A and B are shown apart, each in its own frame.
Chain A
């Protein structure tokens, strides 16, 4: 177990190193000079070269690379070329928003997806068809369209929930939750459909296993077979997919935060893109990579915990 964990962390660090390197060099492919971008077109040559020196842009590329790496190790991701704010600080303000959205979204995917999958697998006939049909359509609905649609229904037609804005969890848990209901549904419905399909097929596969016949021959009630043995068996493929869904939701946050005006990493990235704020984009990419790699390690560990054949060789 410990050995697997150490190996996974090692691979993650290696990947992170590659991501950092790639983003650093890609950023330098971008035409245009950050100093000019910051100072605007009216700046004199002197002002530009002074700023270039201040930002370290006049040093050789490799020296800049080494500096950015050592900065990263010390938790320094540079400063925004637009606002002058340290990137780490800007990210720090945005992280709670995005993590609220993605973790609630993943919880929605898991709870709704597994529940729908169980329903579909256990109830044959109409219920099964209805769940499968709904899941098929839900997978095709774009999250940005669903977001606007939900706002049209639940904020405009029936004014139940706020259409935009974010309240901090510590400020008011109730308003925090209310503000996140629509974004979470919009971001997670398609993923829930994927999990529902997978849960259904994994459960149906379980029901054909010999050991289910054994359980039934011992008079085991159906709900015990489904919830204990079926779900346990289905949890192994489901956990892998949930990990992938989390990554998808993290990406979806870019769009959904825009629709609901949530000041998260996605919005930060998008405005950085339109303003050519390279350090900010680099910071966002590195942050995303760290989160994804952490989630991958956690899913790998859960995978091993759930699978006795891997745990007890």
Chain B
């Protein structure tokens, strides 16, 4: 019963794979060259037109001509004919190596991959042995024993390179065995061998072909190398390596001879490698599905009209001469299918010295992008489209990269979301603190050490000396976040951007880190922008908060006001979905639906599709930020009609799920 489903999953990606591989021009060119070689070496002997051994003393060492397209050698033999006759050995023997390596390596790899300890041990020792001597030396020893018998010698090469196949098949099998459907097949009573053939091999096939193409390339190079040394077929018989040797013997008299033989080998090796690379790329990523193109125009239009609406409404953010950070009309765009989408749309924000402002929203609302835009550290494919980021009277957005770099650490710094990955695993905590301390503060080695230890102590670390000497993998997540905070504070920044600084931490550690931030802010007076999805964190530490939805600010207010009397339906929905005393024991409401993808953001209210209060008017025009009470702003035309949070009326359109 499990079988059809399992076969479905394994065969579908394979069908697409060939298409994705040969959609790449290099794959077609490579395959074309190989097919051409095969056809030529099969057809030419049948026609009897050119013969590789026919000598012509009247025309020796000639350059290309209409009679001899690739010229002639020192006995007047046609080089093209010799190349084509030599191609048969070159291709057939390379494929022989591939075949032998797969026949030897695949079963051993499967055996090891299915968890047999014996299989694992034997294949590992086999690989050790195969890698202990350069392959060509082994082949030379084989030639001594069997003479110039290339099929046998190449079979030995196949055994030598099978070590790589074993390793690959073993890894792929182990991965496949972990997949659920193999368990299912096992439960339904299939034998190990049938599981291997029906479920594991199809998944190994792709990587195996990639490896096989590499082996084909190596084999051709090795084979022609042996032929070059004179260990190939005996003299009159043409071989590619032998042709290069003949060319090198005539290098003073006719250098042209180097070209055809060399190109034949180079192009064929290139073809094997490029086919492998194309297949690898095809395996790596399923083609990006095309998204609706018109949508991005709608968003660009929406962005423009929103800006216009804002201007008309005269909405202005609270301005303060005491401001540490002023963000004005910041928009961020990203490329999509040849156009652009707006990810952050006209965001304004002012943070005073010593103030903490939260940016709140679900994932995908643009809050992290806003934070990165302020820091000037947007991902490489994302563009800072417009706006100003003013710190200490200077606009970071108009600075050169180098000027902006110099503001980081001293004027603006950040605290990461994942402290464990935010520290370089290859350096000690101490190194990661003293290096910026020396650079930012111009300290000596000893002073930097003192400063680092002081900051670690400040950040609430009980034994700074121990942590200083530790590597990141030796400390806990909470400790790592304290280190990151210490790092951010080295240059005494005026503005600190904290992107979900407690999300990755245990609940008890979260509260400690927030306490620490609050204490440090009181001491140092920096402005903090705190990005979070957690209204609890906002309530705990923020003076003001800004709610974002689909790239726009939908509400800003003092924290107390925002939590008690929200002015936007989205804020209200967020509050209703927070577990609290009032809704304990009842089902927890969630907001139906998710934030739409950026290319689908409408011109009008972006929350309309999920809003319980939506009206026709919400869907026709851009909604500006409207001033409500107490210096708050809301992007909602029905802001006056909102109820209190936690008082869910009967028959509410908010969907209610069992929690």
**Pairwise interchain contact B424-A229, C-beta atoms closer than 8 A:** yes
Also in contact, A255 and B141, with CB within 8 A (given A141-B266, A145-B262, A211-B422): no
Q: Which residues of the other chain, A, contact B405 by a CB distance below 8 angstroms?
A: 216, 219, 221
Cβ-defined partner of A214 (8 Å) among B132, B247, B269, B422? B422
Q: How far is the CB of B410 from chain A (nearest CB, A)?
A: 7
Contact with A along B399-416 (1 / 0, CB 8 A): 000000111111001101
The tally of residues in B whose CB lies under 8 Å from a CB in A reads 71
**Pairwise interchain contact A254-B140, C-beta atoms closer than 8 A:** yes
Report the 10 A-B pairs with minimum CB-CB distance, sorted nearest first.
A251-B134, A219-B408, A140-B269, A219-B409, A140-B270, A210-B421, A148-B248, A251-B136, A218-B409, A217-B414
Q: Which residues of the other chain, B, contact A145 by a CB distance below 8 angstroms?
A: 244, 258, 261-262, 265-266
**Interface 9-residue window, one of B35-43, B224-232, B507-515, B574-582:** B224-232
Q: Which residues of the other chain, A, contact B137 by a CB distance below 8 angstroms?
A: 251, 254, 269, 284-285, 288
* Contact residues, B308-366 vs A (CB, 8 A): none
Question: A3 in the interface, Cβ–Cβ < 8 Å?
Answer: no
Q: How far is the CB of B48 from chain A (nearest CB, A)?
A: 31
The CA of A259 and the CA of B407, in the complex, are separated in Å by 58
Cβ-defined partner of B424 (8 Å) among A139, A215, A251, A258? A215
Contact with B along A127-147 (1 / 0, CB 8 A): 000000000110111111100
The CA of A149 and the CA of B487, in the complex, are separated in Å by 55
Q: How far is the CB of A135 from chain B (nearest CB, A)?
A: 11
Tally of A-B Cβ pairs under 8 angstroms? 196
The DSSP consensus for interface residues of chain A is helix
Cβ-defined partner of B248 (8 Å) among A11, A210, A259? A259
Also in contact, A254 and B141, with CB within 8 A (given A148-B251, A210-B422, A219-B406): no
Q: Which residues of the other chain, A, contact B463 by a CB distance below 8 angstroms?
A: none
Q: Which residues of the other chain, A, contact B197 by a CB distance below 8 angstroms?
A: none
Also in contact, A152 and B255, with CB within 8 A (given A218-B408, A285-B141): yes
Q: Which residues of the other chain, A, contact B407 by a CB distance below 8 angstroms?
A: 219
The CA of A16 and the CA of B258, in the complex, are separated in Å by 41
Q: Which residues of the other chain, A, contact B255 by a CB distance below 8 angstroms?
A: 152, 156
A-B contact pairs, 5 of them (CB 8 A): A18-B129, A23-B141, A210-B421, A233-B426, A285-B138
Question: A151 in the interface, Cβ–Cβ < 8 Å?
Answer: yes
The CA of A149 and the CA of B228, in the complex, are separated in Å by 14
**Pairwise interchain contact B440-A219, C-beta atoms closer than 8 A:** yes
Given A218-B490, A251-B135, 14 other A-B residues pairs in contact with their CB atoms under 8 A? A15-B128, A18-B129, A137-B266, A139-B273, A142-B224, A151-B251, A152-B255, A211-B425, A214-B484, A217-B408, A219-B408, A220-B439, A285-B137, A289-B132
* Contact residues, B113-158 vs A (CB, 8 A): 128-129, 131-138, 140-141, 143-145
**Pairwise interchain contact A309-B425, C-beta atoms closer than 8 A:** yes
Contact with B along A187-227 (1 / 0, CB 8 A): 00000000000000000000001110111111111000000
Q: How far is the CB of A185 from chain B (nearest CB, A)?
A: 16
Also in contact, A210 and B416, with CB within 8 A (given A137-B270, A148-B258, A273-B144): yes
Cβ-defined partner of A308 (8 Å) among B410, B426, B440, B490? B426
**Pairwise interchain contact B251-A250, C-beta atoms closer than 8 A:** no
Q: Which residues of the other chain, B, contact A11 by a CB distance below 8 angstroms?
A: 128
Question: A2 in the interface, Cβ–Cβ < 8 Å?
Answer: no
Q: Which residues of the other chain, A, contact B252 by a CB distance below 8 angstroms?
A: 156
* Contact residues, B242-295 vs A (CB, 8 A): 244, 247-248, 251-252, 255, 258, 261-262, 265-267, 269-270, 273-274, 277
The DSSP consensus for interface residues of chain B is helix
**Pairwise interchain contact A288-B247, C-beta atoms closer than 8 A:** no
Question: B624 in the interface, Cβ–Cβ < 8 Å?
Answer: no
B141, B145, B252, B440 interface centre (most CB from chain A within 10 Å) = B141
Instruction: Please list the residues of chain B having a beta carbon within 8 angstroms of any beta carbon in chain A.
Output: 128-129, 131-138, 140-141, 143-145, 217, 221, 224-225, 228-229, 231, 241, 244, 247-248, 251-252, 255, 258, 261-262, 265-267, 269-270, 273-274, 277, 375, 377, 405-410, 413-414, 416, 418, 421-427, 435-436, 439-440, 471, 473-474, 484, 487-488, 490-491
**Pairwise interchain contact A270-B144, C-beta atoms closer than 8 A:** no
**Pairwise interchain contact A250-B134, C-beta atoms closer than 8 A:** yes
Cβ-defined partner of B487 (8 Å) among A137, A140, A214? A214
**Pairwise interchain contact A309-B473, C-beta atoms closer than 8 A:** yes
The CA of A291 and the CA of B241, in the complex, are separated in Å by 28
The CA of A293 and the CA of B132, in the complex, are separated in Å by 6
Q: Which residues of the other chain, A, contact B133 by a CB distance below 8 angstroms?
A: 19, 285, 288-289, 292
Q: Which residues of the other chain, B, contact A52 by a CB distance below 8 angstroms?
A: none
Query: Closest residue to B413 on the A side, CB-wise?
Result: A217
**Pairwise interchain contact A270-B426, C-beta atoms closer than 8 A:** no
Q: Which residues of the other chain, B, contact A218 by a CB distance below 8 angstroms?
A: 408-409, 413, 436, 440, 487-488, 490-491
Q: How far is the CB of B69 from chain A (nearest CB, A)?
A: 20
Q: How far is the CB of A274 from chain B (nearest CB, A)?
A: 8
The CA of A284 and the CA of B471, in the complex, are separated in Å by 45
**Pairwise interchain contact B440-A270, C-beta atoms closer than 8 A:** no
Question: A96 in the interface, Cβ–Cβ < 8 Å?
Answer: no
Q: How far is the CB of A281 from chain B (nearest CB, A)?
A: 6
The CA of A218 and the CA of B492, in the complex, are separated in Å by 11
Question: A66 in the interface, Cβ–Cβ < 8 Å?
Answer: no
Cβ-defined partner of B144 (8 Å) among A30, A143, A247? A30
Q: Which residues of the other chain, B, contact A269 by a CB distance below 8 angstroms?
A: 137, 140
**Pairwise interchain contact B410-A219, C-beta atoms closer than 8 A:** yes
Q: How far is the CB of A298 from chain B (nearest CB, A)?
A: 15
**Pairwise interchain contact A148-B145, C-beta atoms closer than 8 A:** no
Q: Which residues of the other chain, B, contact A216 by a CB distance below 8 angstroms?
A: 377, 405, 408
The CA of A30 and the CA of B229, in the complex, are separated in Å by 21
A15, A211, A293 interface centre (most CB from chain B within 10 Å) = A211
**Pairwise interchain contact A142-B266, C-beta atoms closer than 8 A:** yes
B225, B265, B274, B408 interface centre (most CB from chain A within 10 Å) = B225
**Pairwise interchain contact A140-B141, C-beta atoms closer than 8 A:** no
Cβ-defined partner of A144 (8 Å) among B225, B270, B436, B440? B225
The CA of A250 and the CA of B247, in the complex, are separated in Å by 25
**Pairwise interchain contact B258-A214, C-beta atoms closer than 8 A:** no
Q: Which residues of the other chain, A, contact B487 by a CB distance below 8 angstroms?
A: 214, 218
Also in contact, A217 and B423, with CB within 8 A (given A254-B140, A259-B248, A309-B471): no
Cβ-defined partner of A281 (8 Å) among B141, B231, B247, B273? B141
**Pairwise interchain contact A255-B228, C-beta atoms closer than 8 A:** yes
Contact with B along A252-280 (1 / 0, CB 8 A): 10110011000000000110110010100
Question: A26 in the interface, Cβ–Cβ < 8 Å?
Answer: yes
The CA of A248 and the CA of B247, in the complex, are separated in Å by 25
**Pairwise interchain contact A142-B440, C-beta atoms closer than 8 A:** no
Question: A73 in the interface, Cβ–Cβ < 8 Å?
Answer: no
B229, B244, B423 interface centre (most CB from chain A within 10 Å) = B229
The CA of A251 and the CA of B409, in the complex, are separated in Å by 51
Q: How far is the CB of A262 from chain B (nearest CB, A)?
A: 14
B228, B241, B440 interface centre (most CB from chain A within 10 Å) = B228
Also in contact, A217 and B248, with CB within 8 A (given A140-B269, A251-B134, A308-B426): no
Question: A312 in the interface, Cβ–Cβ < 8 Å?
Answer: yes
Q: Which residues of the other chain, B, contact A232 by a CB distance below 8 angstroms?
A: 424, 426-427
Cβ-defined partner of A254 (8 Å) among B229, B244, B269, B375? B229
Q: How far is the CB of B149 from chain A (nearest CB, A)?
A: 13
The CA of A60 and the CA of B390, in the complex, are separated in Å by 91
Q: Which residues of the other chain, A, contact B266 by a CB distance below 8 angstroms?
A: 137, 140-142, 145
Q: How far is the CB of B147 from chain A (nearest CB, A)?
A: 9
**Pairwise interchain contact B247-A148, C-beta atoms closer than 8 A:** yes
The CA of A251 and the CA of B221, in the complex, are separated in Å by 12
Question: A29 in the interface, Cβ–Cβ < 8 Å?
Answer: yes
**Pairwise interchain contact B408-A142, C-beta atoms closer than 8 A:** no
The CA of A307 and the CA of B473, in the complex, are separated in Å by 11
Q: Which residues of the other chain, B, contact A16 by a CB distance below 8 angstroms?
A: 132
